């Protein structure tokens, strides 16, 4: 079967990349039997919080699985109902989970500081940057094929195929740019140059002893 390089297919690939990239984070929060045995020894509040996080992660994994099934069974075939399903997944599930906490919390970093921290070192800034990139990827994937779902008559669909030369330039550029940005943020490792590291470890010279004035007899 020949896969057509149209906007719907590119949107499906973007959705797939974004959803698959979220799987490791949720999978890491799912408690196994070994984890539950270890949690029994801890505080009750911590146990309840970990169990709640595990249950929510299982629900999120189920939503991701549903999204992937919808994408490759109906969405890629331009079924309009599947676009509405993906709209709900993006704005009802992904937005409150990936982006909304940024607006509720107190932002202590500027945009440039946040971007610098996300690129050069692991931590919360990188995690939130990845979340924003993944959400933007899903929003772009949702907006790209709107014309194919709602503005093109179904009778013309088997006859008039979108030309890859016309749509490939912009759509493929968006696809590669989002993937490259996500990979750059995730895999970029900051290394301190040896000269800078040695200069920070070198102790400053001791201060000069005070000089007492000589008395002339």
Contacts of 71 (CB under 8 A, 6+ apart): 12, 15, 16, 82, 86
Residue 159 lies in a domain: no
Comparing 42-46, 62-66, 136-140, 193-197, the range with the smallest average pLDDT is 193-197
Please give the pLDDT value at position 115.
65
Q: How many Å is the Cα radius of gyration of the chain?
A: 26
Residue 119 lies in a domain: yes
Residue 162 lies in a domain: no
**Integer Cα distance of 80 and 3 in angstroms:** 20
How many domains does one find in the chain? 1
Confidence of residue 71 (pLDDT cuts 50, 70, 90): very high
Confidence of residue 181 (pLDDT cuts 50, 70, 90): low
Residue 217 lies in a domain: no
In the block, tokens 């982006």 appear at 99
Residue 16 lies in a domain: yes
Residue 206 lies in a domain: no
Q: Which domain holds residue 15?
A: 7-152+168-190
pTM confidence score? 0.68
Contact 31, 39 (CB under 8 A): yes
Confidence of residue 60 (pLDDT cuts 50, 70, 90): very high
Residue 14 lies in a domain: yes
Residue 99 lies in a domain: yes
């Amino acid at each position: 079967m020949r896969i057509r390089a149209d906007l719907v297919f590119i949107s499906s690939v973007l959705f797939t990349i974004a959803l698959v990239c979220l799987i490791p984070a949720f999978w890491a929060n799912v408690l196994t039997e070994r984890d539950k045995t270890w949690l029994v020894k801890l505080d009750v509040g911590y146990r309840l919080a970990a169990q709640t996080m595990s249950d929510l992660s299982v629900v999120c994994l189920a939503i991701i699985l549903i999204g992937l099934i919808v994408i490759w069974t109906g969405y890629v075939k331009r079924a309009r109902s599947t676009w509405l399903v993906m709209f709900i997944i993006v704005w009802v599930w992904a937005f409150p989970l990936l982006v909304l906490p940024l607006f509720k919390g107190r932002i202590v970093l500027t945009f440039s500081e946040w971007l610098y921290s996300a690129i050069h070192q692991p931590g919360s800034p990188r995690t939130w940057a990845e979340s924003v990139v993944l959400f933007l990827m899903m929003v772009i994937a949702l907006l790209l094929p709107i014309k194919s779902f709602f503005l093109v008559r179904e009778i013309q669909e088997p006859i008039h195929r979108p030309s890859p030369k016309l749509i490939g330039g912009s759509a493929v550029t968006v696809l590669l740019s989002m993937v490259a940005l996500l990979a750059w943020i995730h895999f970029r490792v900051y290394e301190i140059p040896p000269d800078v590291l040695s200069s920070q470890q070198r102790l400053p010279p001791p201060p000069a002893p005070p000089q007492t004035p000589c008395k002339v007899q």
